[in-house]
Structure 1
Amino acid sequence: MSTPATKPTEPAASTAVARPRRMRRGLGWVVIALLVVGAALLIMQISASTTVPFRGGGDPDGTGDNGMLALTEILREQDIEVEVVRTRADAVAAIHDDTTLAMTDPFALSDEAVTDLLEPADRVVLLSTSTRMLDLLELGEPTSASTSAAVTASCDLPELARVGEIRPGRMFVPAAGVTGCYPDAEGNAALLVDDTDGRRVAMIDGTRLFGNSYLAEDGNAALGLALLGQTGHVVWYVPSIADGDVEAQTEPSLGELTPQWVTPAIVMLMLAGIAAAVWRGRRFGPLVAETLPVTVRASETMHGRARLTAKAADAGHAGAALRDGAVRRLARRLGLHDRAGAAEVADAVADRLRIPRTGVQNLLNGALPVTDDALIDHARRLADLESAVDHALRTERGTR
């Protein structure tokens, strides 16, 4: 009896082929991590070694909202030479008899350096507020008052005769012998002009009036021309820390206080973190989306604040919140600008509804309620006013 032929057994799959594949895959991850770290270090080095000049507020070459490039271009269109300098030496060298020196607050200069800078100039225009400059030049005193209402020059300077109204920011108290222009109801002035000692020095909050985003409002552009366009040459000095003379008073930076071994240690930690992520990261499975056990409605925040206000019995605070919201909504519906105040909105509402201004002014800009009953009545009147404006607007659209 013959025995059946045995089937030859297949050789077991060897792991010798899979092991090099895993090694190559791991080596690829390491190379990628090293490239990422190298690129990050290169970017950090380039950023640290490259100095880009900052064109911030008050800079005549600044294109941002607070830059003054628009005013600079307007002066040049009037055939006025505007020379932008960024060092004291260049500023003094550029000043001659028919020159106006313009600058913002020279924060990095000492009093002696400021005096030396202003000495050769016959006309100086300071375009920012500075308590130190007020005291140094004896122009007046600072005040916390500010106004957004339109004011006129109300002074005898002929170059301001055709400027018109402006809406200044910071106000000052003029010193004796100093002319104050654009005053408010309390006598504070937005523009200080001193003509003593054979030199004219003017100070105004230029960052509020002559910034690129504000220059087209009211008579701001005309005022800028009146202050800087009286001579054919303007030297515009841009202060900077690099041009300062008070280096001894500066404190050491964080980089100077950091030991030298910190940077290599941070790089080693980054490498260790990347290696750990490559080593352990592939063991995790895919992300699983889970719903939150609790759904929080946005209205709960509003109700919570309302309960806090009611518990505190602060009717005035609640009335102010209601009135602020009503003013913003009315301004948006009437097409007013974002910075429109309550008085301006009240005038626009009175004109649209053809009702007396006094009642609307008292509602939107008057005293706040102090009791709960007064608060309820205040809220009802605000709602009725908004409804009336909405009805008037719908009626106007329907008749067109």
Structure 2
Amino acid sequence: MEAQDFIDDFHRTWEFGATSHDGVDRQAGTKPHGQLRDWFSAQARAAGFEVRIDPIGNVFALLDFVDGADYVLTGSHLDSQPLGGRFDGCYGVIAALHAAIEIKKRVEAGQMEPKYNLAVVDWFNEEGARFAPSIMGSSVMCGLFDLEETLSIKDAQGITVKEALESIGYLGSDEAPSVAAYAEIHIEQGRLLERNATAIGAVTQSWYTQKLYVDVIGEQSHTGATIMKDRHDALPAAAMLVLKTEQVVEEFEPEQIVTSVGQFDVEPNSPIVVPREVKLVIDLRAHRRADVEKAREILVDYCEEVARARDITIEARDFDIRDHQVYPEDGVELTEKAAANTGISCMRIETMAGHDSVAVNRIAPTVMTFVPSEGGVSHCEREFTSDEDLVNGLVVHTEIISRLLDGELDHLK
């Protein structure tokens, strides 16, 4: 395996959407995103892959080994958060491409006789930063989201998903490959592997997650001419909800639930106007579904309490609810075996974050693998994973894909 070629290619991706603080800003459907997809597609074609683009903009690089057979699918995503990190998602796509190149060499050398074909995928809009919800491309392909409804979703500037894909040349019409199994490798975005000095995480399940869309409605007025008792200011009420969202975790066991307000929009956002409306999104994730439901109940009740106390209106509605996804036990064991066979340390781990594998796991046997994130930092410009950990992940991932191509999880189909 040409590990240095992989590292060189992965480091090259940092040029696309590079920020001044060593991160990337490569949101779905933007010019830098399109440029990196062009580079990825060119690399795949040069290595002998066929490239297809489906109607939601997922990019597939295919290798055919067996006429008419289904595909073992592997990959992740090339889009990023605003001012995001260089490793999130992108590592999984480039590692998948280089694993596939290595497998192609083994097949051509007569060292392997795959049962299935192989495809590397770059899913569209995993991040959900520009277009909500997240995990978009894989969810459409898996039949979880409606294609036409998803293409009509708009960003903050009123641009639709369809228009964004057209603008970068990735609104496709090709049929997605039939999936026999799926494997994804990703940075952990947490620090359990680092805490335990372990190189590989075999992912067992995702956390239960849901979001609350909250609309705080007050009344617009003049900041200088309106006395305090006559105001119906939406912003202080919204600020109280932000603080309550952080404080609610104190009701639960340590490190069993996480909460945040990551999106917060003020109208009209003028320095001399009392805000009339604030829209915010509360994100709740926990190991146990009951904990998310309890936190949601506490926060909804608090919305009603604040609305009464401040004589305003607060509307909270549920959206983007995602139940636990449990990955197949045999897939977890496959990761453990692959790590053991290559002499690399491994432990079982849960994922607090969502990934495309959460969607694909609903339609095909799926294996999810993590490599360490330094300090647990992610969705941030200082996100970092060492070259050594990246290569260890590539080695294990290649072994996993090889076993999937041999049909090791066929009994789960």
TM-score normalized by the length of structure 1: 0.25
* Richer in helix (by share): 1
TM-score normalized by the length of structure 2: 0.25
Greater relative contact order structure (CA < 8 Å, 6+ sep)? 2
Structure (1 or 2) with the larger CA radius of gyration: 1
